[in-house]
Structure 1
Amino acid sequence: MIRRTLLAAALAAATAAPVLAQDAPWPNRPITIMGGFPNGAGTDIYARRLAEPLTRALGVPVVVDNRSGAGGNIGSEYVARQAADGYTFLLGTAGTHAINAALYRRLPFDVIRDFTPIVLLGDVPNVLIVSPEKRPNLRTCQDVLTAARARPQAVSYGSTGNGASTHLAGAAFATAARLDLLHVPYRGQPGAMTALLTGDTDLFFNQSGASMGPIRQGQVRPIVVMSRERLPALPDVPTVAEACGLPPMDTSTWYGLFGPANLPAAIVNRMNTEVNRIISAPDFREWLVQNQAITPPAPPNTPEQFRQTMAADVARWAEVVRASGATVD
C-alpha cells in the first residue's frame, strides 16, 4: 500500500510538472534572436545592437545566433519549426518574407502561415557603392552609365545571393537605365564586399546598414542612394533621379521581428511594446538614422500593421522578381 501511494504521488508530480512549467512567468530563461545571414550582415548588426537593451528590459539574456544560407531560408525554417513559447525569434527581412516567396519554387515553410509578425524594425535602402582604389574612374552615376553602355556585360555588380535585395536592386537599376550588367552572386555580405574591394566586381548595390562602415572608413565610394529622397546619414549622396537622369527609384526593404506561428498574444504584445520603446529611444533612433541609414518605423507600429506591410510586399516583390527573371530551384 505504501509503495502504491508513493508511486501515485510520483506520477501526480510528474503529470503536474509541465503545468507548473507552463504557468511560470515569461520569460524565465535565455531568448534567442536568430538571423538568416552571416555575421557582419545588416541583420546581424541590428540584432546585436537590439539584444543589449532588450536583455535589460526582459530581465533574461537575449543572444544572437545566425544560421545562414539559401537566401536566409535556413534561419527562417529553423524558427518556423520551434515551439511557440517565446524563446526563439527571427530577425527577418523583406528578402526572407516577401522576395523569397516569389523567388524560390519550393520553400520549406509558408512566409505567412508559419510565422507570427511582431514588430517592424525599419526600412533599409540600398546604396550603389564602388571601390575608389580599384575603380577611380567611377565617381558619378553618369560615369557608371557611360562605362556600362560602352561595354555591355563588361561592368559587373556583386550581390549577396541570387534574388537578394542587393541583386534585385541592381536588376531594377539596369532595367531602368537599359544597361546590360553582369550579375555575380556571392554567399552573403562578406564575399560580395570582398569582391568589390579586390576589384573582382565593379559595383555593389548594397544595403545601407552594411555599407556605412566601409563608406566612413573610405574603403568604398557611394554613388547614389536607391531611395526617393536623400538619406540623413549621407546628405551629399544624390538619389537615382537626381544623378542618373532616371525616374525616381526605391528598392528599400525592411527588417522585422517574427516568432513561430501561433505565438501567444501576451508574448507578442510584450515584445512589441519593449522593442518599440527601445527603437524609439533617442540614442537608438540616432544610431538607426545616422549610423545605419535606416528609417525607423512610424508609430504605433503594431503587429497587425506589420502583418499588412508584409502581405503588401509579398505582392510588390513578386512583380519585381518576375520582371528580373530571377529564380532559385
Structure 2
Amino acid sequence: MLPLEGILVVEHSMGLAGPFAGVRLADLGARVIRIEQAEEGSLPLISLYRNKERFLYNAACDQDTRKLNQLIAAADIYLDGPSLQALPFGGASREKWRFNHPQLIHAMITSCGGRDVEDTKAYDDLFIQALTGMPWLNGNADDPPIPFPLSTVEMFASANLVQGILAALVHRAHTRSGMLVEVSLLESAIDVQFEVLTTHLNDGGLQPQRSAVSNAHAYLAAPYGVYETSDGYLALAMGSVLELGKLLHCDALAKYKDPASWFVHRDEIKLNLTEHLKSRPASAWEKDLEAGGYWCAEVQTTQDLLQHEGFRALQHLQQIEVEDQGLFVTPHCPIKIDSTHLNSRRGILRAGEDNAAIEEEFKLI
C-alpha cells in the first residue's frame, strides 16, 4: 500500500509547479483528478499527467462549474493556481467554503503571494528569476545576468507546496480540520537564496560579487568552480588550495599559505588553475585528485549522464503510454518506498476521457 492511498486530490492548475506537485502526490498513491479546459501540454509537460485522471471542464458553462464544485467538495485536497481566472466555489468566498467543508485542504500557488500588484501579471519562471536577482549569481563577474536554464523557481515552489500539503494532512489526522496551504513563486525564489540574502543582510548590504574566473558561488573561496581541461571540464569543490597544488603539481599555488587568501585572491588562484589544468584531460586530473581524497568531478553532458554506470545502476527511467502517441521515456519519482521505485501505474489518456466515469461515480449534475 502506498502512503497516500485513499486521498483524493482535485488539481486545477497551470504551468509546471501545480502539476508537478500533483504528480508527486499521485506517485505517492493519491488519486489525482486533473481539471483541464482544453487538450494541454507538450511532451515534457504531459509527463506530469501520469497517474492522473483528466476531467475536461468548460469555465463558461454553469453546469460544468456546478460539477467542479461538487468534485472539490468530495476531495481531501484542492490544488489550484497560479491562475488569472476566477476560481470556482460557486461564487462563495474561501472563508465560506472552509466553513461548509472544514476538512478540505486547499493548496494554492500564486505568483507573488496574492497580495501584490505583480500577481495581476502573467507569471513566468524567468520573470520571477529576474525579479529576485537570481541571474546575477550565474556566470563570471564581467558576464551579463544569466538565468538558470531550468524551471528552477517552479520546481522549488512545487516542493514547498507538497511539504505544506503533507503537513496539513498530518494536522487533519489529529484535528479533523483542513487548512489553507499557500506557496508563492516569489517567496520560493527568495527562500532558495537564503545563503545570499542572509549574508547580504548581515554584512552591511554589500552586493554579492561573482568571481571573475570560473565562478560557481559568489561567497565561496577558490578553487570552487568549473575549469577547462585539454578535452573537457572539471569541477572542483571546496578544499585546501595548498593540498590541491601538491596533488596537481601546480607550484604557483604554493604561495597561498593563508586560508583567508583563498577568497581574497580567488581570481588569481583560479587563473593559475585555469592555465595549469589545460595541459591534461579531465579524466587524468580526476584520477589524481580522487587518489588524494580531493573533491572533484568531470562535467558531463546529458549523453554522458545516460551512459554513466551510476545512472544505469539507479534504473531511474520508466516508459509511459500516451493515448494516440505511443510510449515515451521519462524519469520516475526519486522517492523509494520500502526499497521500491514509484513507477507510473496508469497511462495518459486524452483530456476528457475520464469525464463520464467521474461524473457517474461522484453523481455530478
Q: TM-score, normalised by structure 1?
A: 0.26
Task: Mark the structure with the bigger radius of gyration.
Answer: 2
Higher relative contact order (CA 8 A, sep 6+): 1
Normalising to structure 2: TM-score of the pair? 0.24
